[in-house]
Chains A and B, each alone.
Chain A
Amino acid sequence: MDVFTLSLWALRLGFLALVYAFFFFVARALWRDLRAGVAGAGRPLARLVVMSSAESRPEAGTSIPLDAVNSIGRDVNNSIVIDDSFVSAEHALLTFRGRAWYVEDRGSTNGTWLNGQRIEGLWPLGFGDEIQIGQVRMRLDRPRTETPE
């Protein structure tokens, strides 16, 4: 068992060990991500609170949790379905893009109203702003911080 062979094997095993070292650091990173993810997972980014509606459908005060992308309309394929005669099938899109919320009208017949203003195209909004879609008036609010359900 000479020196050369031994060092050769040290190198070979060293290579394997380094590949596993890579795994170790990756695993540590994954673990941190996972913990960070668990801390913030499952919480909605924001919510819409219904302020008023025709015939109390939906009732005022109803709170709708929001994901990053929320399509609003009368069609079932929307994430928020509003069954109101004045709502188009694909009415509006409410999205969170990194840092801010945006609302976008998708060519609805009756339009999307932001703080009483009919909007076209993409429009930024913040917490407290009001959106009107059909006969339903809603306010963008911070997500509830109480105990998770």
Chain B
Amino acid sequence: MTAAVHALNRVGIRPRLRRRELGLLIIVSVALTVGWISYVSFRDGRLELADTAILTTYLVALFVIHGLFVISGRRMDEILFPTAAMLAGISLLMMQRLPQDLVTQNVAGNELGLGQLQLFWIVLGFSLLTAIALLVRSDGWLRRYKYTWAAAGIFLLLLVFIFGDVTGGARLTLRIGPVSGQPSELLKVILVVFLAGYLAENRRALSESSTRVGPIRLPPLPYLLPMLAMLGIALAIVIIQSDLGAALLYFLVFLGLLYVATRRISYVVLGMGLFLLGSFVLYELVPRVQERIDIWLNPWADAQGAGYQIIRGLYAYGRGGILGTGIGAGLPQVGSIPSIPAIHTDFIFAGISEELGMLGALALLGLYLVIAERGFRIAAFAVDDFRSLLATGLTLVIVVQAAIIAGGNLRVVPLTGITLPLVSYGGSSLLVNGAVIGLLLALSDRGVEPPVPGVPRGVRQRLGRRARALGGRVESALS
């Protein structure tokens, strides 16, 4: 052991114990195991711990990641990862409990069901999380090329727009060969990177100066315009694709970041005004928006049609009550038909509320608030504005998205289709949200050693320099 530590020390890595993280991960493991026993016992009618392959794989993955964090010695936040692990664990329990044939995929001759696929995506997402948390040591690649990133993101969306598959009335999925994904998930991160970069540079101007038109003081339009243009393009594309959830998310995250950067409540007021105006126009113009709002106001008007899903969701809340029915004991399906359409994606919150009850659902919301607290703390302690705003934006992306879909499920706001981060089934969502948590972890390490001045040597540096030069050219062309 000590020999290994010495070996690590020689290559410049000093392992650092993460006791808090370890303790929390142990609680997560025990909780998930207990939940798992309660599920299989109910399913089989006797007390037992069976079918543990999925659970074990997941728990082993958690501790391997923890081990990697320890060995790397980075001073990262110790609470974010266990919180994400708890969310994904609850997700895994639910996916295992739902009818396995909701989603199936043939991988190398094996027919994988919902639970196995979700495990696969979670492990993949967490691997991405780990890679980003450990390897991202500099944020220059994000900060410097914000316009490039933004252009790439919009290009990706345009691809979906042209080639995308339609699911659930919205054009969301891009399929390239066997790989398919939802770029609107990725775009949310890109948007945050762009906004953080832009606002960090211009926030003083945005918060102090203003454009005067006669006697009226307006926000400084020249500084706002690039941001608004970017947001406008992104919104236009997702709205035309009917991806209303993503549109709402982008807009709210934009407002949140703008406020944090400038602390001008007038922006928020103006933004909400524009939002209401925009919603009204969309209500008049886009039948889908109109339908969504009508269902929200009175789902019973079309209980067997458009309101079916949300009413079924409400029944689930009613059945759950305070303590819930217990995992496996809810009624997510009648016969082989799921009781709530899209229960594994958009309506997972309703499913969880039924089986874990109000207490369980409140706990789930609490987990997102923990992420919010950690994210904002990372933002508050970040060494500069860009990192601050980036951490804020990444945090907002997760917690606002969770609030949008939970609120839609609960009929607090109109329902828009979007995933519950880290819980809903779906590869793109899990990968992107894993990456977001990974970035937050990387940002939480304030003790990043400064880049050691030295002569660039070797292929890596040369390639790096060329890439930077290319990026710089693209960047200046775009800005």
Closest to A78 in B: B204
Known: A16-B363, A19-B86. A96 touches B383 (CB 8 A): yes
Known A-B contacts A16-B323, A22-B27; the reply to A77 vs B363 at CB < 8 A is: no
Known: A11-B38, A29-B79, A122-B453. A16 touches B27 (CB 8 A): no
B151 at the interface (CB under 8 A from A): no
> Once bound together, how far apart are the Cα atoms of A96 and B27, in whole Å?
37
A48 to B360, CA, bound (A): 52
Judged by a CB distance under 8 angstroms, whether A33 is at the interface is yes
- Chain-B contact segment, one of A97-105, A110-118, A136-144: A97-105
B51 at the interface (CB under 8 A from A): no
A11, A30, A76, A99, most chain B CB atoms within 10 A = A11
Interface residues on B, range: 35 or more
The minimal Cβ–Cβ distance linking A114 to chain B, given in whole angstroms, is: 14
Contact B41 A11 (CB under 8 A): yes
What is the bound-complex CA distance between A48 and B152, given in angstroms?
42
Shortest C-beta distance, A88 to chain B (Å), equals 17
CB-defined interface of B29-55 with A at 8 Å, one 1/0 digit per residue? 011001101100110011100000000
Which A residues touch B23, using CB under 8 A?
Answer: 25
* Binary contact readout A1-45 vs B (1 if CB under 8 angstroms, 0 otherwise): 000100111011111101111110110011001000100000000
Contacts of B82 in A (CB 8 A): 22, 26
A96 CB to closest chain B CB, in angstroms?
Answer: 7
What 1/0 mask marks residues of chain B from 432 to 453 whose CB sits below 8 Å from any chain A CB? Answer: 0000000000000011111101
List of B residues within 8 angstroms of A54 by Cβ: none
In the assembled complex, how far is the CB of residue A67 from the closest CB belonging to chain B, in whole angstroms?
8
- A-B pairs under 8 A by CB, number: 109
CA gap between A100 and B356 in the complex, in Å = 50
Is there a chain B Cβ closer than 8 Å to A95's Cβ?
yes
Q: Which of A4, A29, A96 contacts B46 (CB 8 A)?
A: A4
On whether the beta carbons of A76 and B204 are closer than 8 Å, the reply is yes
B363 and A19 contacting across the interface, CB-CB below 8 Å: yes
The answer, among A21, A33, A69, A122, for a CB contact under 8 Å with B27, is: A21
A121 at the interface (CB under 8 A from B): yes
Known interface pairs A15-B34, A16-B323; A8-B42 also in contact (CB < 8 Å): yes
Inter-chain CA distance A68–B83, complex, in Å, is 29
> B79–A26 contact, CB under 8 A?
yes
Asked if A16 and B360 sit within 8 Å, CB to CB, the answer is yes
B20 within 8 A of A: yes
Taking a contact as CB atoms under 8 Å apart, the answer to whether B31 and A12 are in contact is no
CB distance from A30 to the nearest CB of B (A): 6
Select from chain B the residue with minimum beta-carbon distance to A13: B323
Distance between Cα atoms of A18 and B45 in the complex (Å): 23
B27 & A18 in contact (Cβ 8 Å cutoff): yes
A16 touches B79 (CB 8 A): no
A136 to chain B, nearest CB (A): 21
Q: Is B373 close to A, CB under 8 A?
A: yes
Q: Which residues of B lie under 8 Å from residue A11 when comparing CB positions?
A: 34-35, 37-38, 41
CB of B34 within 8 A of CB of A122, answer no
Shortest distance between the CB of B462 and any CB in chain A (Å): 19
* B-chain residues with CB within 8 Å of residue A76 when the two chains form the complex: 204-205
C-alpha spacing A98/B31, complex, angstroms? 37
**B359 on interface, CB distance cutoff 8 Å:** yes
Chain B residues whose CB sits within 8 angstroms of the CB of A37 once the complex forms: 377, 381
**Option from B24, B37, B47, B451 in Cβ contact (under 8 Å) with A25:** B24
- Closest A residue to B384 by beta carbon equals A69
In the complex the two chains form, what is the Cα distance from A96 to B327 in whole Å? Answer: 50
14 additional A-B residue pairs with CB within 8 Å, beyond A12-B324, A15-B38, A97-B447? A7-B47, A9-B326, A11-B38, A16-B359, A16-B363, A19-B31, A22-B28, A22-B31, A23-B370, A25-B23, A26-B79, A30-B79, A98-B447, A98-B449
22 residue pairs from A and B, CB less than 8 Å apart: A4-B45, A7-B41, A12-B323, A12-B324, A16-B356, A18-B31, A19-B360, A19-B363, A26-B370, A29-B24, A30-B370, A37-B377, A69-B383, A76-B204, A76-B205, A77-B201, A77-B204, A95-B383, A95-B384, A97-B383, A97-B448, A98-B450
